[in-house]
Amino acid sequence: MHCILCSGEVLLASRIPSAFYKIFMALSRACRLLFRPMGVSEADIQSIDNDLKIFVTSHYDKIYRGSAERLPLCLSTISSLLDIVPLLRACGPAWVVWQFPMERKIGTLEKLIRSSSRPKATLVKNVTRKCKAHLITFFGEQYLPTELAETTKKRWSAPDLLRGSLKVPQDVGPDCALLPPRSEPVGLRGAELASMRAVLIHENADEEPL
């Protein structure tokens, strides 16, 4: 996929006959529109359809050539590319139905296998525990935020406050928007304290904080 989408255009330029390079570039142009994580317009769909038809037609004309000696090159996967545009119209953009999210999910399961002798049992046990924890947390955040905060000793941010935002809604107040500290508070000392005092003196502060 990296070759088709990114590096192939440069690596194959002037290294293969121009006819075969044009075949590759037709597939590359179609895939660049297919695999981008956004919607596709009617013009994009028409462009994908044209490039895929060029690729399939050129493959059978210049690569397979209808020759018995080249029969291994007459692959069903080549002709199945013509089904992409009808499926695109029926199912939406490729990123909606592709399997990459599921592959990433499968990649996270390896860490949940804690036993080499009983991999399936430990996997099922840990996945179940993880799902239960997620459901409990979700239910607590939605319906019992106060009880969950008292149990976990965490303060939850306001539901309509963007993560990382410094704006505090007036109807919520600052207490609900504060996140739990990552470490215990420590006093300023040494160079930090000297720098702070220098700033206060520069700003003509009347009182120094404790």
Model confidence over 133-148: pLDDT tens digits?
888 888 888 888 888 8
Burial 68-88 (b: 16+ CB within 10 A, else e): eeeeeebeeeeeebeebbeeb
Amino acid at 74: C
- For 115, phi then psi, to 5°, come to -125, 130
Query: Per-residue pLDDT averaged across 5-29, rounded?
Result: 90
The yes-or-no verdict on residue 160 having pLDDT over 80 is: no
Burial class (CB in 10 A: 0-12, 13-18, 19+), 48: buried
Give the residue, 3 or 175, on which the prediction is more confident: 3
Residue 24 structure tokens: 């590759």
Instruction: Please report, rounded to a whole number, the percentage of residues in the chain having pLDDT higher than 90.
Output: 16
> pTM, whole model, 2 decimals?
0.47
Neighbours of 9 (CB within 10 A): 16
Cα 177–chain centre separation:
27
> Does the structure show a pLDDT above 80 at 31?
yes
175 band by pLDDT with thresholds 50, 70 and 90: low
| Residue 171 pLDDT | 64
- Comparing CA positions, the residue from 9, 53, 11, 63 lying closest to residue 30 is 53
Does pLDDT of 20 surpass 70?
yes
Name which residue leads in pLDDT, 77 or 175.
77
What is the rounded average pLDDT for all residues in the chain? 81
